[in-house]
Structure 1
Amino acid sequence: MGVQYFGSGSKTIITSRDRQVLESGGADGTIHEVKGLNEIDSLQLFSTFAFKQLNPAVGFQDLSRRFVKYTQGNPLALKVLGSDLNKRSKSYWESKVEKLKDCPPEKKISEALKSSYDGLDLVEQNIFLDIACFFKGEPMERTKLILSGCYKGAECGINKLVDKCLINVSTSYWRYSTIWTSGIFGDAISMHDTLEEMGKDIVCQESKTLGKCSRLWNLKHVKEVLKYNKETDRIQGIKDLVHLREIDLFSCKNLKKIPNLLGALNLERLDCDNCESLVELPSLAHLTSVKILRLGGCRSLKKFPEIPNNFDELDLSETGIKEVPDFIEHLDRLQWLTLTNSMVKDVSSNISKLKSLKELELSGCPIVKFPTVDVRSPSLRFKSLRLMHMDRCKSLKLLSELPPYLLDLNVHDCTSLEKVSFADKKFISV
C-alpha cells in the first residue's frame, strides 16, 4: 500500500514484537516500547475474568495479587489465566500459583498460558492445536463443521476455548461462500499470535522428526514428508479421508490431475475453479455425497465429466468442453448447470430430461442450435427449468419450442438468431 492511500497529515503506527524489524525499516529513534499494565489495572482486568467483577472475591485477594505479579502486566496472560481460574476452588488456585512460583521469571507468562491449555480435556486440546495450526482466521461455521467430523462434541469444545479466552470470534472477510456459509462477512475464528505460537510449539515438541508430528502446516515441511512418504503414521491429515467434506483447489494453476478420491466417501463439495492446467478428473462415481462440483475457468478441460446423479450444482464455465453428451440425462437431481463462456457447440436433446434443473447458463458459447423440446413427449422432464441465459451466443440461429415453464430467457446480443418459438404461452419475460 503506497502513501497515496493516506490523507495529508496522517500518521502510521507500526507494531512488532521484533525491534530489529522496526529498526531495519528506518524507525530507529521513534520506537516506543509498550509497557505492561500497572498493578491496579492488572488486578481489575484479572478480576473481570476470574470473578466477573472489578475486584477479587473475599478470601482470594492475596492469591489474585500473586497471579497478577506473575503475569507481569501482560493483558493476554491476565485474561487467559483469569478465565481459567473462574469458578475454580481455592485449592485449585493454590496449586496453580505454586506451580507458577517455581518457574523462572522469563517463563512465567508462557507457563501461565500453557497451564490454561493443560487444564483442557483431550478433545479440547486437539481442537486448540488444530485452530492454532490450520483454522486461525477461518469462517466459524465452516470450522465447526470440519472439526465436528473429527471430534465428538467439537462445538462444545470450541465454546470452551472461547470461554477461556484461548480463541475469539470476530467479524471477518473470506474469499468464497460455501454450501454451509454465504455472504462475504461473517463470524471467523481469531487467536492471539502468542497463543498460535504456543500451539505450534506444542506440536513441534512432539518429535524432532517431521513425520512423527501430529500436524504439519509449513508447506516446505509438508512437501518434504510427502516426497519421501516416511514416518507419516502420526500425521492426522494423512489418513483415510472419510471425514473430508470439502476440497478447495481454487487457482492451482499448475495442477494437471487430481489424485484418486476413493477414500473421500463423505465429500460434499469439490472446488477446482481457475485450475487452468487441469486436463482430467478422477472417477467420481463412488462419491454419492457430493452436491457441488466447480470447474469454472479450467480451460484445459475438454471432456464433460462423468459424475454420479447426486449433484445439485455443476459449474463448467470457461472450460474447453465442446459438447454436452447424451449421458447428461442421468443427472436427474441437477438444479444448476453453468457453461458460460465455454466452447460448447452441441447440446444433447437428452438435456430436456433433467427434471430438477432450474437454471441453465449457456451465455457466450458458440452453440448453433438448442435442442427442441417436445411437450407431447411422455419423457419430458424439463418441467423445473425457470431461467435460461444464452446471451452473446453469436452463432445461435434457432430457438424453437422452448421449455414450457420458462420464466426468464436472455438472448441479448445473439446476432445470428433468426427464429424463436415457445412450446406454450406460460412464458413471462424475455
Structure 2
Amino acid sequence: MAASSSKSRKNFGVFVSFRGVDVRHTFISRLYEKLRNKGIYTFKDSEGLEQGDRRGELFDAIKGSRIAVVTFSENYTRSKWCLNELAKIMECQNLGKIIVLPVFYKVSPAEVRLHEKEDGLKGCYQLAVEDMVHGTEMANIWRKALWEGGDLIGEVVREGIIEKVLKILNRVPMEVAKYPTRINSRLEDVRPLLHMTPHVDEVFMIGIHGIGGGGKTTLAKAICNDIADNFDDWCFLQDVRTTDLVLLQKTLLRQLLREPNFSVPSVDLGKHLIKERLCHKTVLVIIGNVDNSDQLDALAGDLDWFGKRSSVIITTRDRHVLVSAPVQHVYEIPLLDRSEAESLFRCHAFHDGQENVKIDDLLIDRFLDYAAGLPLALVVLGAFLIRRKELEWKSTLEKLDKIPEKTINAVLKISFDGLDDQQKEIFLDIACFFKGWKRDQVTKILDSCGFEATIETEVLIERCLVTVEDDNFRMHDLSEVMGKSIVRDEKSTGLPSRIWSDKDFLRVLSDDVVPENYAVKGIVLDLAKKQKKLIKSNTFKFSRRLRLLIIRNAFDPKEPLNFPSELRWLEWPAYSASTMSFGAFSQLVGLDMQRSKIEGTSGEQESDRPIEGGEDEDEEEQEFEELKYVNLSGCKLLKTLPHLSKSSKLQELSLQGCVNLISLDQGIGSLEEIIHLNLSGCRMLSTFPSSLKSKHYRTLNFSGCLKLAQFLDIDEELEFLNELFLDGTAVKELPNSIVNLVAVKLWSMNSCKELSFIPASISSLQKLEVLWLSNCENLEEVQGLPPHPIRVDMDGC
C-alpha cells in the first residue's frame, strides 16, 4: 500500500477505502483533493500494492486514523483487499477507535447488508462473497463487516462528506491528565455500559460514582474524547454544583443546538425546551459533580428528552442522587492499586528526568501510604516534591505526621505551605474568586493588584494546584475547598481576608461588626439573582487594604459610595448611583462600570471636599496615574469624565454607547501607551483629540460619533493598528497622514454621508484587506486603491 505522505508519520486524519476500478478517477480523486486542500492528512488505498508484506502497514494506518471513509461501489466486494480493509475498519469501529463514514456509490445500504431478495435472488454483493470463499470462516467475517457497514447511516449521494470530516477533526480533545494512569482500562470498563454499536437505538444513562479526588472528572473527559465523534453534538457541564440551573440549561441548549443566544426564562420552561429541541438529536451529555437530584431533573429528567443513540453520563460523590434518575448502570470508580499509585506518583515526582535524585524507596512508600490510592493526593504530593532532596522529603513527612487527621485537605495544604507569599495570595484569589474565569482577564486583574501573575501562576500549574483548560483557570474542587478553608480559618482579625458570598458580605461589612483595621483584601460577588438590600455610602469605610472589588448582579447602591484609597481594581456593572467620587482612587488600575446610571463624576475625597480648579485640579489629575483600563460602555446618562491626560499608563478606554457624553479630555490623544480606544455610539461627543501619539493602537472605533467632522492626524506609523471604524461620522475627507496606517486590515466608513474624497495615499496601505464604504452618498469613485486584491463595498454610493 502507498501512503499519501512519508512512512515516518503514523497517524492520519482520514483513511479512505474504495474499489479503484469504480471510483478512483471520479469521486475518490475529487474527495482526496478536497481533503488535501483542507490540510487533512489522508491515507488513500492503492490496490497496485496488495502484497502481503504491506498488510501490517495498512492495518496500522487504519488504527492510526480518526475517520474511515468507506465507499461502497458496485465492485467493492470483488476485491479481497477491500473486504479485509472493511473487516479491520469495522473491528476498530466496534472498539470505539475510529469513526466510519460510509458512502453508497450506485448501490443501496440494503444491498450492502447482504440479504436475499423476496424472489429468492441474491444481490451482487452476496454473490461476490460466495463466489470467493463460500462457507469459509473468512466469508463469515466479511458478511458481518458488510452487514454492520450497510447498517450505518451514510451518504447515498456524495454531498456533505467534507463537512462531516471537518466537524469531527476540528473538535479539540479535552485535556484529560498529564499522566493518565490506568485511564484506558477504566475506559474499557465503561464503554460496554454505553452500548456504542450501530444496532442499538436506545438512550443510555450511566453514573460514575466515587470519592472526591478519585478521578471521576478525569475519566469523564477521557470518555468524551473517546466517543464524542459518534454524536451529532456534545456538551460537558463540568461542575453543576456551583452554577445556577437556568444558566446550566442555557449552556446545554446553546452548545447542543449551536445557538449562542438561546434564551431560557425559567427552570420549568428550560426542561420543556430541552425535551422539545433535543428529542430528535443524537447527543452526548456529561453532567459533572452532581450533588442534588434537582440538577438532574433540570438537565436530564428522562431518557426520552434525547434522540436515539444518545448517551448521558453523570459523575457524583453521592450515589443517592442517582436513585431517582433513569440510570441503567453505575460505575464505581476504583482507587489506584499500589502499583498504579506508585507509577502516577513517580511520574509527577520525577517527571523532568530527576530519577537520578537519590530518594529512599521507604520514603516513597510512606507517601503512597498517605495518598491511599487517591489520584489527586498522589499528583499534588508528587508535584510538590519534584527536584527536592531527600532531606526535604523527610521534612515533608514530619509535617504530615503532625496532622491529627490525615484528610485530603491537610495533604493538599502541604503543597500550599510550600508556596511563597505572593504565590499564596494568587492561589487564594483564584480559589475564592476566579475558578472558571478566563486566564487573560484574571492575569490582568492580578497584575493590577501588584502581582507578577504570568510567572507565578505557572508555579501553581506546575504544582498541580491550578490547571488551565480552554484558556480558563480551573482547579479541583478539593483544592478550591482547601483554599477557602484557609481563608475562613484566618485568625488575625477573626474575619476573612476575602469575601465571595452575599451572606459573609452582609455579616462582615455591617457597621457594628467591622473593626477599623479590618484587612479585607478582595470582595467578588457574582450572584445569579440581585439582592434587594441596599449598600450604604460608608459600607467600605474601614476596608483600607481592599485592593479588589467586583460586584456583579449583587446589590443596588442608591447613593455615592466612599471607596478606599488602596483599591486597585473596581468592577461594578450596572452601578445605580447617579454620581461617583473618583478622588480617592490614587492606586486604581482597572475601572469597569459599564451600563451604570452615572450622570457625572467628581473628585471628591472621603471628606466630601470638592476638588475643582487651580492646584487642587492638578492634584486630581495626579490621582489617576496608575489607570490602565477604563470601561464605561453603556453609561447612557454619563456627560463628563474625570481628567485622564496624566494617566500615562492608560491602555484601554471604552466609552461605547455613552450617548450623552459631551466632552472628552483632549490630552487622551497624547497618551503613548493606549492600545484600544472605543468611542462608538457617542453621538453627542463634540470634542475629540486632534492627533494620536501612541504607536501601540490596535483598534480605533469612532462609529456613530455624529459630530466627528475631521479625522485625526496620525503623526507616526501605527504598526499594530488592525481595525479602524468611522461608520456614520461627519468626516468629509481624509488627511494624507493616513499613509501611517501601515498595519490596518479592516477599515469601515459605512454611511459617512459627508465623505466626498479619499486621498490617493490610501494606495500605499499594503496590508489593507477590507474597505467598507456603503451608503457614502457623496463619495465619487475611489481612485488609487492598493495594487493587491482587497474587498471593497461601495453599495449605495
TM-score normalised according to structure 2 size: 0.42
Asked if 1:9 is matched to 2:309, the reply is yes
Aligned to 2:677: 314
Give the Cα–Cα distance (whole angstroms) in 1 for the partners of residues 431 and 525 of structure 2: 13
Matches within 5 A, 1:101-140: 101-105=401-405, 107-140=406-439
Whether 1:294 and 2:654 are equivalent positions in the alignment is yes
Distance in 1 between residues matched to 2:413 and 2:628, nearest whole Å: 37
Give the partner amino acid of 1:253. Answer: R
Q: Is the 8 A contact 1:385 1:406 kept in 2?
A: no
8 Å contact 1:316–1:339 — kept in the other structure? yes
Match of residue 282, structure 1, among 642, 660, 665: 642
Greater helix fraction, Structure 1 or Structure 2: 2
User: Structure 1 residue aligned with 2:775, among 410, 413, 418?
Assistant: 413
The corresponding residue for 2:350 is 51
Does the CA contact (< 8 Å) of 1:253 and 1:275 recur in 2? yes
Deviation at 1:360, TM superposition (A): 4.9
Structure-2 change in CA distance of 1:29 and 1:55 (3 Å) = farther
Other structure's SS at 2:780 match:
strand
Please report the RMSD computed on the Cα atoms of aligned residues, expressed in angstroms. Answer: 4.1
Inter-partner Cα distance in structure 1 for 2:331 and 2:600: 51
Give the Cα separation in 1 of the matches to 2:347 and 2:457.
21
Q: Any stretches of 5+ residues in structure 1 without a counterpart?
A: 173-186
SS at match of 2:486: helix
What is the Cα deviation at residue 354 of structure 1? 4.4
**Letter in structure 2 aligned against 1:412:** S
**Judging changes above 3 Å, is the alpha-carbon distance between structure 1 residues 134 and 286 closer, same or farther for their aligned structure 2 residues?**
farther
- CA distance 1:266–1:199, change in 2 (3 Å): same
CA contact (8 A) 1:46 1:82 kept: yes
Q: Is contact 1:267-1:287 (8 Å) kept? A: yes
Q: What is the rounded CA distance, in whole Å, between the counterparts of 1:363 and 1:8 in structure 2?
A: 49
SS at match of 2:727: coil
> 1:224-253: per-residue Cα shift (whole Å, max 9, x none)?
69852244134343515377554445xx43
Name the counterpart of 1:328: 689
In structure 1, the partner of 2:387 is 87
Matched, 1:339 2:702: yes
Q: Are the structure 2 counterparts of residues 257 and 37 from structure 1 closer, same or farther at C-alpha, using a change threshold of 3 Å?
A: farther
Task: Report the secondary structure of 2:484's partner residue.
Answer: helix
Deviates more, 1:274-283 or 1:6-15: 274-283
| CA shift for structure 1 position 329 | 1.3
Find the counterpart in structure 2 of residue 182 from structure 1.
Answer: none
1:205 and 1:234, CA in 2 relative to 1: closer, same or farther beyond 3 A? farther
CA distance in 2, matches of 1:276, 1:150: 29
Is 115-124 or 154-163 further displaced after alignment?
Answer: 154-163
2:749 corresponds to: 390
In the alignment, structure 1 residue 253 sits paired with structure 2 residue 598 = no
Residues 391-412 of structure 1: CA deviation (Å, up to 9, x unaligned):
234xx26614x34422475432
> Is 1:208 the equivalent of 2:564?
no
Change (3 A) 1:260 1:12: farther
Instruction: Find the counterpart in structure 2 of residue 399 from structure 1.
Output: 756
- Aligned-pair identity in percent equals 27
> How far apart are 1:8 and its partner, in Å?
2.0
Correspondence for 2:552: none
When residues 312 and 104 of structure 1 are mapped into structure 2, their CA distance, relative to the original with a 3 A threshold, is closer
Specify the alignment match of 1:199 in structure 2: 483
The alpha carbon displacement at 1:110 in A equals: 1.1
Is the partner of 1:328 in helix, strand or coil? coil
Distance 1:21 1:33 in 2: 14
Query: Does the CA contact (< 8 Å) of 2:625 and 2:647 recur in 1?
Result: yes
Which whole-Å CA distance do the structure 1 matches of 2:319 and 2:637 have between them? Answer: 44
- Between structure 1 and structure 2, the one with the greater Rg is 2
Give the one of 459, 463, 479 matched to 1:160. 459
Provide Cα deviations, 1:143-180, integer angstroms capped at 9, x if missing partner.
Answer: 5565455557655433332222112233x1xxxxxxxx
Q: Secondary structure at the match of 2:761?
A: coil
Q: CA deviation at 1:347?
A: 3.2
Task: List aligned pairs for 1:23-42, cutoff 5 A.
Answer: 26=325, 32-42=331-341
Equivalent pair of 1:137/1:190 in contact (CA under 8 Å): yes
Give the residue type in structure 2 aligned to 1:8: K
Displacement after TM superposition at 1:79 (Å): 0.7
Counterpart CA distance in 2 for 1:312 and 1:81 is: 43
Q: Aligned-pair distance for 1:294?
A: 1.9
Cα distance between partner residues in 2 of 1:61 and 1:164: 22
Instruction: Describe the SS at the equivalent of 1:290.
Output: coil
Candidates 474, 478, 501, aligned match of 1:190: 474
1:272–1:295: 8 Å Cα contact kept in structure 2? yes
Residue aligned with 1:42, SS = helix
- CA distance in 1 between counterparts of 2:658 and 2:780 reads 31
How big is the shift at 1:75?
0.9
Q: Displacement of 1:289 after TM fit?
A: 1.9
Q: CA deviation at 1:114?
A: 0.5
Deviations 1:265-297 (A, max 9, x none): 23333234445565543332321222332222x
Structure 2 gaps of 5+ residues are 1-251, 253-273, 284-306, 497-507, 509-517, 549-563, 569-585, 604-619, 793-797
In structure 2, distance between residues paired with 1:320 and 1:226 = 30
Q: Residues 64-83 of structure 1 correspond to what in structure 2 (within 5 A)?
A: 64-83=364-383
Letter in 2 for 1:66: R
Paired with 2:754 and 2:423, the residues of 1 have a C-alpha distance of 63
2:361 corresponding residue in structure 1: 61
- Partner SS for 1:347: coil
